[in-house]
Amino acid sequence: MFYSPLEKPYGPALKQSESDPEWSWLTPLLERGQGLLHNARHGDLARWRAALAALPAASTGFSLPGGLPSFGHRIPDQQALIESLNAFHPWRKGPLQVAGVTIDTEWRSDWKWQRIAPHIDLQGHRVLDIGCGNGYYGWRMLGCGARLVLGLDPTLVYAMQWLACVLYAGPSANLVLPLGIEDLPENAGGFDTVFSMGVLYHRREPVRHLRKLASLCKPGGQVVLETLVLEAQGTALLEPSGRYARMRNVHAIPSPELLVKWMDEAGLQYSRVLDISRTTTAEQRSTEWMRFESLDRCLDPLNPDKTIEGHPAPVRAALLAKAPE
């Protein structure tokens, strides 16, 4: 049966917020998110919604063979589906498989997940994923036993990509809302685990962001943070004045030691570094599903240890910490 979540895609979370007074703050947020999926002021919304409505029907299902989020059963006309899914270009986070079509995204997000997942327990957790993109990690979190994943990302095309996946997945506990962290009400909270991956360096006040993450957890909940770091000893900090690897709005790239200090300052406990990895052009690259320029065009062609602006090339750290009891 072809499931249509186009009208009310946030069913599982609505059940949660309507049945538990501690989660009542969630209902207006879901309603707002749902409204934006229908009538956000965005020049491409009508085109995206037409593309969603025109996606070929298939029987629904969600599985994770070898860790690859896979939705629906394979449909015979793969070429037509490829063309329809291209309406949601650029596909950045994945890989994903939609009704038999493998989407080779800009990022090998599975590599990041492999660096983080062995260190965390999500069994039965209600998870918040700030800056969730198209919800790729939410599917992986469900695979690790999470019972609900609420993802927030204000970039509307990513919510459209998520909707395309959900059309083939069927009713799902992995939700993407087209909203930002600043849209959460003051009384939001109670999550077992809060993720913030690839977001901190875009924040003007990093410690404030970390404090917010702590406040969104239930007492003793866990925070998973992933961000750009400087491979340097001590408390070094890079505050790029212009662009960093062609990205605008990169405000702060701390050393791992300084990052742990910031987490302490924010009230997070037992912060520990899980992984530090240099981002390679094998992990982030242009593909037929992401045809814009990618990391190779952001590095100095004569010295790939530097960005095009002369900063140290991107290195990312993942950390785990505990919110206060």
Ligand X SMILES: C[S@@+](CC[C@H](N)C(=O)[O-])C[C@H]1O[C@@H](n2cnc3c(N)ncnc32)[C@H](O)[C@@H]1O
Q: Which residues bind ligand X (CB under 6 A)?
A: 93, 109, 130-133, 152-155, 158, 180-182, 197-199, 226
Closest distance of CB 180 from ligand X, Å: 3
Q: Please tell me whether the peptide bond between 90 and the residue prior to it is cis, using omega within 30 degrees of 0.
A: yes
Complex with ligand X: residue 30 or 81, whichever CB lies closer: 30
Complex with ligand X: residue 90 or 190, whichever CB lies closer: 90
Complex with ligand X: residue 169 or 199, whichever CB lies closer: 199
Closest distance of CB 139 from ligand X, Å: 13
Complex with ligand X: residue 75 or 150, whichever CB lies closer: 150
Closest distance of CB 107 from ligand X, Å: 6
CA pair distance 17, 177, nearest whole angstrom: 15
Complex with ligand X: residue 42 or 74, whichever CB lies closer: 42
As a whole number of Å, the end-to-end CA separation of the chain is 45
Instruction: Identify whether the C-beta of residue 158 lies closer than 8 Å to the C-beta of residue 165.
Output: no
Closest distance of CB 294 from ligand X, Å: 13
Work out the angle at residue 106's Cα, subtended by the Cα atoms of residues 74 and 212, and round it to the nearest 5 degrees.
105
Complex with ligand X: residue 114 or 303, whichever CB lies closer: 114
Complex with ligand X: residue 131 or 221, whichever CB lies closer: 131
Structure tokens at 180: 């930002």
Closest distance of CB 118 from ligand X, Å: 17
Report which residue type is found at 149: V
Complex with ligand X: residue 81 or 130, whichever CB lies closer: 130
Structure tokens at 302: 């004569």
Closest distance of CB 302 from ligand X, Å: 26
Structure tokens at 9: 């895609």
Closest distance of CB 62 from ligand X, Å: 20
Instruction: Identify whether the C-beta of residue 143 lies closer than 8 Å to the C-beta of residue 127.
Output: no
Closest distance of CB 77 from ligand X, Å: 31
Complex with ligand X: residue 149 or 197, whichever CB lies closer: 197
Closest distance of CB 201 from ligand X, Å: 8
